Structure 1
């Protein structure tokens, strides 16, 4: 059954939104990971990204093995960007939740400011008395490093290594900017972040006191469908003003005066309507919205219409990839009719790329079982297309939900295993209307398992 937040919880959440204290951190981390060495031809266009997806999804072939040339131990010190939050200035919680986002997002997935933090997981956890540490996964967002090869450095094992090292810092009280030892460290992941959380506890079962795997199962049947549905593009071409180079920024600066001459309209559909109206062209506003907002053009116009000054983007290498537009975003992450469309547009405008190395190593190296002995919760949206094929309540085998069938057996030593299926919710749980119910389920489950915010 859906667990709804009580009035007391909602009041606490409202207070938390104003009293909470959050700090942005840069954490130097020594990464060490055994990884594959792969060889790919250069990507110069979106057609190359499409060819890459075709090769990965080809029936009866193993493209990953065909481009694997050996193995290496990747080492180095890299900066990991994080946001540390506590309920108030005078609070020092004994328990911290370590939050790992999935593909296409960054640390803000857990603390979305949209509609005054209505969709913020962190706010709910803070209201329950926990501290939170949300990280940009290695290679993503503020944790991007031009020294990290997107094929052979930014892979799943290196990212797990970073999480392991930071988790040790939390326990030891040596995290730069926090320097407060926590009695318990809990790990909450989403999607690829959940897969990394699973791998973390399989390699280091003692590192966590309890884990929550959201947007997750261990059924990879729909991986090919997901890759095909993304319609992969080079990130630098799909959102050139965020991920491209100085040339893209120069184009933006040249076009900006034209945009401002029409009043700097904030909504891209309204902007298009005004431009067409000025040209004497009469087209229904709904048609204009469909032509712009639901196509890749929206990724460019959103930046063109930004009020901030243009600056060179990240100049990402071509092996940083992303899905094409809002329609592919919806197919993979959003359940139609149960998310705020304006929020979906924001999610598209702020999406983060994925490396070719991450895609190739999505499930590589993950053992079939974990020796983790603590409690495990799997929480997935019922309409999740990536891990459940759009129906997480479908039964098979011994019966029960898809996540329960596929994940429960992977934790033979767990002290307690539960699944929770959130109805009317797609893969990107945090963007759906009823996400607050899911957030509260997690806090209640932690408390039930003796992992409350007091750390007792």
Structure 2
């Protein structure tokens, strides 16, 4: 069932990077560019960078057809990707840590960079980083490979899901190795969408490397996302916004416009227009390589707590209705199937009302943050 090792001291030495310290409410944040060395099991993709928008549109028209076999056609054999990438990170440490000395490891999804987690900046009700700090938790946010201030390698052969997975694995090791002298006793992963799939794959491959996992914007019914991906209107990023993305190759894509972003991420009536506009103005890219290789198997050997938080109107993961049933359970509760070794007592869900895929950008965000922080407090 699919849904869509290095010596520590040299690895954690930050060479040639700039560290910026910023005081924030309830703590301090440290911006650092980390050189992350990985060996990943990528695959050969029998796909060339599109020569124009018509070719890209055709790729996605075929890929989102109900009887599509594009993935089977283009995925070839294994290819090792051994490389070092510069990854922008921000570690925020609370003024008053909780007793467990918890650090949250936050992985954003497609269409965003790290700003998904501190959206709106200081004092914003959408700022998840501030919610974590207020609860006494440190939190690491970062720009996934290909986004924000992190490296942007070839979007087909290099920037693939297995590479993203290994980068996440190394960042968890970083948090276990007293970054900036901070001893963390509990590492809690929190992901959104593609970031949630990354965490599922992380614990699927490496077991209990996280003390707990929170998956937002996620269900195991990923096949329902075909219509949502068709609605994205994937556009060559360099053509859609030459000022921001003009230097990127044509394998880097973004949504066509604000209406597409609304359809994919938002539930009309439960967001502020200014938030939709800000999300559109700051949107990030995705690549053909990461989307065509972004699948995960069940986490057979992971036994630690899991909390899934997905809006009831999530379009890509629920087809717009997360309360539809699979074997008598709604799609969110039914996602227990990908965590077969997690006891029922350690598996929880929360479904924010009238909320689309971009949980953090809805008026329901403070309620969801409260549920998440309350759940972590009970670990």
TM, length-normalised to structure 1: 0.75
Which residue is 2:340 aligned to? 412
How has the CA–CA distance of structure 1 residues 386 and 61 changed in structure 2, closer, same or farther, with 3 Å as cutoff?
closer
Map residues 55-454 of structure 1 onto 2, 5 A cutoff.
55-88=62-95, 94-113=101-120, 116-145=123-152, 148-173=153-178, 175=179, 178-244=180-246, 315-363=247-295, 366-397=296-327, 399-405=328-334, 407-415=335-343, 416-449=346-379
Contact 1:17–1:117 (Cα < 8 Å) also in 2: no
Instruction: Report the Cα offset of residue 222 of structure 1.
Output: 2.1
For this pair of structures, how many residues does the alignment match? 355
Greater Rg, structure 1 or structure 2? 1
- Per-residue Cα deviation, 1:177-233 (whole angstroms, up to 9, x for no partner): x24231111100000000000000000112100000000001122222122101110
Instruction: Report the Cα offset of residue 370 of structure 1.
Output: 2.9
Instruction: Report the Cα offset of residue 70 of structure 1.
Output: 2.3
Instruction: Report the Cα offset of residue 143 of structure 1.
Output: 1.4
Structure 2 Cα separation of the partners of residues 204 and 361 of structure 1 = 19
Instruction: Report the Cα offset of residue 125 of structure 1.
Output: 0.8
Structure 2 Cα separation of the partners of residues 204 and 180 of structure 1 = 24
Is the aligned partner of 1:36 residue 2:38?
Answer: no
The structure carrying a bigger strand percent of its residues is 2
How has the CA–CA distance of structure 1 residues 320 and 424 changed in structure 2, closer, same or farther, with 3 Å as cutoff?
same
The structure carrying a bigger helix percent of its residues is 1
Structure 1 Cα separation of the partners of residues 378 and 96 of structure 2 = 27
Structure 2 Cα separation of the partners of residues 47 and 358 of structure 1 = 20
- Per-residue Cα deviation, 1:44-96 (whole angstroms, up to 9, x for no partner): 32222211101212343411221233221111111111111112399998210
Structure 2 Cα separation of the partners of residues 328 and 115 of structure 1 = 28
Is the partner of 2:183 in helix, strand or coil?
Answer: coil
Contact 2:267–2:355 (Cα < 8 Å) also in 1: yes
Which residue is 2:31 aligned to? 24
Is the partner of 2:325 in helix, strand or coil?
Answer: coil
How has the CA–CA distance of structure 1 residues 165 and 42 changed in structure 2, closer, same or farther, with 3 Å as cutoff?
closer
Instruction: Report the Cα offset of residue 31 of structure 1.
Output: 1.2
Structure 1 Cα separation of the partners of residues 313 and 64 of structure 2 = 23
Is the partner of 2:329 in helix, strand or coil?
Answer: coil
Moved over 6 A (4+): 89-93
Is the partner of 2:263 in helix, strand or coil?
Answer: helix
Instruction: Report the Cα offset of residue 17 of structure 1.
Output: 5.4
Which residue is 1:301 aligned to? none
Contact 1:381–1:424 (Cα < 8 Å) also in 2: yes
Gaps of 5+ in 1: 1-15, 245-314, 450-456
Contact 1:46–1:232 (Cα < 8 Å) also in 2: no
Is the partner of 1:74 in helix, strand or coil?
Answer: strand
Structure 2 Cα separation of the partners of residues 203 and 41 of structure 1 = 29
Contact 1:38–1:152 (Cα < 8 Å) also in 2: yes
Structure 2 Cα separation of the partners of residues 115 and 123 of structure 1 = 8
Is the partner of 1:69 in helix, strand or coil?
Answer: strand
- Per-residue Cα deviation, 1:257-280 (whole angstroms, up to 9, x for no partner): xxxxxxxxxxxxxxxxxxxxxxxx
Contact 1:198–1:370 (Cα < 8 Å) also in 2: no
- Per-residue Cα deviation, 1:126-170 (whole angstroms, up to 9, x for no partner): 10000000111122211123xx22101111111110111111121
Aligned CA-pair RMSD: 1.9
Structure 2 Cα separation of the partners of residues 126 and 103 of structure 1 = 25
Is the partner of 1:118 in helix, strand or coil?
Answer: coil
Structure 2 Cα separation of the partners of residues 369 and 114 of structure 1 = 35
Instruction: Report the Cα offset of residue 107 of structure 1.
Output: 0.7
Structure 2 Cα separation of the partners of residues 196 and 223 of structure 1 = 17
Contact 2:333–2:349 (Cα < 8 Å) also in 1: yes
Contact 2:190–2:216 (Cα < 8 Å) also in 1: yes
